[in-house]
Structure 1
């Protein structure tokens, strides 16, 4: 396990590589690798562990009853997932966690993280603090997605999402973590309809784009 890399993640924020190396055995930590498109967790699974993406990235995918899928979120390198399910005994997951690219995941026991171990190491309080902060940020992320899909039009959803990215990424040039199909699923729209609307917005001078990179004009930011 690369403790130097882990020291830069939000879960282990404030801990040195040496601190992390010492605490990992207390957490029952273990690693697994996943191929692109492989499910890290499937809907219906029960887990008592938190996952931390050490390499690659993953999407949160919901499979609807009639066969369609929706992407509810993206899990970049260094981020965690499944903390809510791990906190509830016997709670089945309601979504798939799917590797977007070859990924390596560190799993740690939530129970061990929240409980001071027999060695009485002093790192659990820092980990609990970090976990609470991460959970709050994820809750805000879910609220942002609800805001993005609130507009009735595709254009409204696109502008809501891209303007929020512009605010977070510090300028009108933004990069999304999604392919075009994944972006359509995240915004809850049809892919061909999304592509058509993006074409119209480009013709009107609201934005330009190439693959997952977009540049918003001043007019687009004012309309958002």
Structure 2
């Protein structure tokens, strides 16, 4: 079981789910100031085939929760505040996973891309924005082949739906 929470002090990490055959799916990407592993550490369970991978040089502070108990009646106000903050973070992550589920359940690659880019445009309140993934990471996040993703992005650009340069996108109405 996981007993530590990771706090990203600098850099970025990808949370990856890998199957028996080595197929990778990026569950999410987290950057400096964010935490990971909190649900597993507090629930004292083992994640199945979930990996943490740095996508650049990173510094991570690990908090060991081996002797930490949620059920302790003597929890101080600091512990209760900590748990409240962890709960809020977990709720936000749940929303991100729900968004991802919406993207990956689309039938075509184009629909997956449109779903993801539309969500990012709404979050940024602009039709032009940076995404947090490079091409391979976006393919892994949307659970599609990189070459198919690149082909579909090119097709969408040719059809006048989008413009892009690396991870900067503009949606065209």
TM-score (norm 1): 0.71
Say whether residues 1:184 and 2:139 are aligned partners: yes
Q: State the match for 2:29 in structure 1.
A: 74
CA distance in 1, matches of 2:45, 2:126: 44
Query: Within 2, Cα distance between the matches of 1:194 and 1:186?
Result: 11
Partner Cα separation in structure 1 for residue 152 and residue 130 of structure 2? 18
Equivalent residues in 2 for 1:113-192, closer than 5 Å: 114=70, 122-192=77-147
Q: Deviations over 1:123-148 (max 9, x none)?
A: 22221111111011111111110000
Q: Is residue 2:6 matched to residue 1:86?
A: no
1:115 and 1:124 in contact (8 A); partners too: no
The aligned length equals 171
Matched, 1:214 2:160: no
2:42–2:70 contact (8 Å) kept in structure 1: no
The answer to whether the Cα contact below 8 Å between 1:59 and 1:100 also exists between their aligned partners in 2 is yes
| Residues 67/92 of structure 1: CA separation in 2 closer, same or farther (3 Å cut) | closer
- 1:169-212 alpha-carbon deviations (Å, 9 max, x no partner): 12111211111011011101111111111011111111111111
**Structure 2: how far apart are the matches of 1:113 and 1:140?**
26
Q: Which TM-score applies when normalising by structure 2?
A: 0.90
Question: Per-residue deviation at 1:67?
Answer: 2.4
Is 1:107 aligned to 2:62, yes or no? Answer: yes
- Runs of 4+ in structure 1 off by over 4 angstroms are 113-116
SS at match of 1:123: helix
What is the RMSD of the two structures over their aligned residues, measured on CA atoms? 2.0
**Structure 1 unmatched runs, 5+:** 1-45, 219-224
